[in-house]
Chain A
Amino acid sequence: MNIAGRRLAYLLLLPELVLLLGLVAYPFLYAIFVSFTNRVVGNAGEFVGFANFAYLAQTPSFWAAVNNTIVLVVVTDILKLIIGLGLALLVNQRFPARGLFRSFLMLPWAMPAFVAFLTWRVMYQPIGGGLNLILTHTGIWPDVIDWLGQRETAMPAVIVATVWRGFPFWFISLLAALQTIPVELYEAARVDGAGPVQRFRAVTWPAIRPVVIVTTLLSSIWTANSFENIWLLTQGGPSDATMIFPVLAYFGMQTQRLGEAAAVSVAMLPVLAVLVFAATALMQDDDA
């Protein structure tokens, strides 16, 4: 290509590059830097090495966040996979009103996250909540439960709301992947005498596996860093039962100790980096 053309190419890329370097790359490195200082609001502080991380490792809230993040990510991923794949397999068949069902199944995804989680907060209330009303009226459970107020039920309640809002993304991705499988493959498998389970293992699963992997990586990254669900439902409570990293970092920031708060976010970086590297490697299209 000629030089003028190349210059134009860089020129077109320039605004984006400047903004991403300034608003993502620089703050990213700055967060790491701040996490090694004792910076507070109004005072830049000085370099303290790993002191913030050593301090964090002694606080129970930090370990609660580690545990809760793992539980939240693993359980919601598994549930979203099962529900999303199950529904995608159902809707991938031909039947009347299929389009209508597909629209309804995408509805939680169309709701703003803050609306969805505020609604679930109200749903879970002992007074004025819809869930307790259903359970007591149908006789499934006679007593009113304070779902978000007790340690044993808070995390399951958060998981249910998170899955409710998040499964449509899996459903749509997996449905799209299923629709790329040629019908002939199924027919050939059937001619060879394969039953439904064998057909799934030999035809369906290999075809959708790449999508499942990328979706799992994306969903894990997003869930581990989700703020709205926890903040709007429980604020990490009761007594850290649903505490996760972003909420802990936000609380840290409210105490004005920015070094410690940044260390909370940075502490999760090693695991996050692995997920992000894996996801980008699978998503990047090199033919470009």
Chain B
Amino acid sequence: MSRRRLIHRVLLYGTLIAVVAMILFPIYWMVITSLKLPREIYRMPSLWPQVFTLQHYNTLIETKNFLVNIRNSLIVSSAVTAISLLISSLAAYSMVRFRYKFKSVFGRLILFAYLTPTSLLFIPLSILMARLGLGNSLHGLILVYLTFSLPLSTWLLQGYFRGVPRDLEEQGMIDGLSRMGALFRIMLPLSLPGLAAVAIFTFTGAWNELLLALVLTTSESIRTAPLGLIYLINNDTLPWGPLMAGAVLSSVPLMVLFFLAQRFMVQGMTAGSVKG
């Protein structure tokens, strides 16, 4: 029996370690490519760089102004997150705590909006933004990113709000709070882990977005991080060093965030988007 257990353990760890190695290798390759000299990237590829260099980071930041791209991404993602959280908290609260006609129709509409792919919307949205005079601007980008961030955050927040017991708000309202007071003083503080998870989801959603940014942006000065990297490929031949340096810079903050908030994220994802 214990021999069987041992074999079982060895197989278990062997499989998991093999899978983790396959997950980590591309990430490892991204990091070391960003730190290799060009001759080591192109002429004599190796698993471990002989010389470590920060020259690609320098190129990216000094001559390609990548920090401007990062700044644009930060502005857009933060604004989208703040606006979505505010508007979707109100909507989710309305749908969870009130009873009225057509509520299930609204619920369905939000789900439809969540599942309507960007690939279907990018052409009409670009026409619409041009007409509104919001094409090629960060404001326009923030507005169109609400198409995917609003339904997602409303959907997730509904799940969280439903988990908060009604009695607390009712008690607060007996003690003199208004409905809005109950939302802002009781519901939102109690849903803080949920709000944090939703904030991270909407932030990363906006941070990752490529298609709409590609279609709506023409000026170099308002390119977001993914666009900054794509245009590296278009302009140079095989710019793998700077490209991977940019990949590292754009992913490290998000991956740290995920590791810190992992528990909330998993709860949020399984409570909201996929129901049992």
- Which of B15, B111, B121, B204 lies in contact with A31, CB distance below 8 A? B121
Given contacts A6-B100, A9-B98, A127-B42, contact A265 B144 (CB under 8 A): no
Number of A residues near B (Cβ < 8 Å) is: 97
Within the assembled complex, what's the spacing in Å between the Cα atoms of A87 and B23?
A: 13
Instruction: Pick the most buried of B143, B225, B258: most chain A CB atoms within 10 A of its CB.
Output: B258
B255 contacts A111, C-beta separation under 8 Å: yes
Q: Report Cα–Cα, A172/B264, bound state, in Å.
A: 13
Q: Which of A119, A177, A250, A283 contacts B111 (CB 8 A)?
A: A283
Residue B151 is within 8 A (CB to CB) of chain A in the complex: yes
Is B53 in the interface zone, CB < 8 Å from A? no
- Selected from B119, B158, B240, the residue in CB contact (under 8 A) with A225 is B119
Instruction: Answer whether residue B124 sits at the interface, using C-beta atoms and an 8 A cutoff.
Output: yes
Determine the chain A residues whose CB is within 8 A of the CB of B13 once the complex forms: 95
Does A122 contact B123, Cβ atoms closer than 8 Å? no
Given A107-B23, A119-B26, A265-B120, do A288 and B274 touch, yes or no (CB 8 Å)? Answer: no
The number of residues on chain B lying at the interface, defined by a beta carbon within 8 Å of a beta carbon of chain A, is 96
Task: Answer whether residue B168 sits at the interface, using C-beta atoms and an 8 A cutoff.
Answer: no
> Is the beta-carbon distance between A210 and B255 smaller than 8 angstroms?
no
Least Cβ–Cβ distance between A97 and chain B, in angstroms? 8
Q: How far is the CA of A249 from the CA of B109 in the complex (A)?
A: 25
Q: Establish whether residues A1 and B99, one from each chain, have CB atoms under 8 Å apart when the complex forms.
A: yes
Tell whether A31 pairs with B124 under 8 Å between CB atoms, given A13-B106, A16-B91, A276-B115: yes
- Distance between Cα atoms of A287 and B229 in the complex (Å): 46
Q: Are B259 and A110 in contact (CB under 8 A)?
A: yes
Kindly state the separation between the CA atoms of A261 and B269 in the bound complex, as whole angstroms.
34
The answer to whether B12 touches A173, judged by C-beta atoms less than 8 angstroms apart, is no
Closest to B243 in A: A118
Asked whether B55 is an interface residue with its Cβ less than 8 Å from the other chain, the reply is: no
Does B26 contact A123, Cβ atoms closer than 8 Å?
yes
Assess the B179–A8 pair: CB atoms within 8 A: yes
B147: nearest chain-A partner, CB-CB: A23
User: Which A residues lie within 8 Å of B247 (CB)?
Assistant: 115, 118-119
B87 near A105: Cβ-Cβ < 8 Å: no
- CB < 8 Å: which of B115, B128, B243, B255 contacts A279? B115
Residues of B close to A177: CB separation below 8 A:
276
Beta-carbon contacts under 8 Å, B94-117 to A: 94-96, 98-100, 103-104, 106-113, 115-117
Q: Is the CB of A23 within 8 A of B146?
A: yes
Q: Is there contact, CB below 8 Å, between B118 and A225?
A: yes
Q: Answer yes or no: B137 CB below 8 A from chain A CBs.
A: no
Docked-complex contact A30 and B124, CB < 8 angstroms: yes
Q: How far is the CA of A149 from the CA of B230 in the complex (A)?
A: 18
Is the pair A133, B144 in contact by a Cβ cutoff of 8 Å?
no
A246 to B19: give the CA distance in the assembly, Å: 31
A interface list, Cβ under 8 A from B: 1, 5-6, 8-10, 12-13, 15-17, 19-20, 23-28, 30-31, 34, 87, 90-91, 93, 95, 101, 103-116, 118-120, 122-123, 125, 127-130, 132-134, 137, 164, 169, 172-173, 176-177, 180, 210-211, 214-215, 218, 221-222, 224-225, 227-228, 231-232, 245-246, 249-250, 253, 258, 261-262, 265-266, 269, 272, 276, 279-280, 282-286, 288
Q: A20-B113, A106-B266, A288-B158 are in contact. List 10 more A-B contacts (CB 8 A).
A: A20-B110, A28-B116, A106-B258, A108-B23, A110-B259, A115-B30, A119-B244, A224-B117, A285-B275, A288-B103
